[in-house]
Amino acid sequence: MNRREFLTAAGAGIAAALSEAGAQDRPIPRRSLGRTGAKLSIIGMGGIVVIGMTQDAANSIVREAIDRGVNYFDVAPSYGAGEAEEKLGGALQGYRDQVFLACKTARRDKAGAEEELHTSLKRLRTDHFDLYQLHALTTTDDVQKALGPGGALEAFVEARQKGLVKHLGFSAHSVEAALQAMNGFPFDTILFPFNWVCWSQGDFGPQVLKAAQAKGMGRLALKAMAYHPWPQGAPHTYPKCWYEPVSEAGLARQALRFTLSLPITAAIPPGDERLFRMALEFAAGYTPMKAAERQELLKKAAGVQPIFRHTAA
């Protein structure tokens, strides 16, 4: 290598290092959450990340996220049979007033939802949740039970009256359930899989986003970095993901930018800590996706099997 080549290579290395350092220094941007008045980091931390970690490791990654500007945390009692709540509760000690804490229940009856709410509050060492959600509504029967007489929604409304929760929302895994829930009660938020492959190959998401936006709800995204179901017999290199995530950095950045370029507030990356940190890096340097970039990305989805599909598609 001659002197010029050496200086060029050295300069490129320094530029890359400075770029990486700059990304570390940039805080995660924040956006308003519907009509709630809250402003959330565009990347949230899902409780699944801390499953399998020691408490010290969980404390460390939560502090890292907060230092980077993350103020949105989402968890559920089903994550690791309560382990995620326990670990996250410990890690958030001293930081609770700095974060927006969301939790969920999969119980559809009032008594069950009340019981799970109080258990979650205890595990997370808090006196309230900023957002409490019906978890994973999938069928019309789910919605009817939760919103009907004696359903979980009755517990939600009473908990809000008592100050145990501030805002009410739901997550859904089907278009039908999401639309039905939105029409059945004035929820504050929806958490839904707004994903590039599902959007283009399964007609899954556009109609839900449009309806939620029309109602002024806060829109939160799941599965932004999902790719497709694990191929049969393939090793699950990301064991916390039930689907195969996009792990190649270039495509993963495009997938996340696709979701964040929609009219949503925030996205929760996969529960693997490697992918979570990757998403933090991308979000720190986020720029909206241009029309040509979006078109190019959606071409790459052609023929890919989506993890969710609208049954009417």
Tokens of 308: 């969710």
Sequence-ordered list of residues with C-beta below 8 angstroms from that of 300, at least 6 positions apart, any chain: 251
Catalytic residue among 79, 132, 227, 243: 79
d(CA 23, CA 17): 10
| Beta pairing partners, 220 | 191, 266
Residue 79 annotated to the active site: yes
Buried b (16+ CB within 10 A) or exposed e, 156-183: beebbeeebbbbbbbbbbbbbbbbbbbe
Question: Which positions are annotated as active-site residues?
Answer: 79
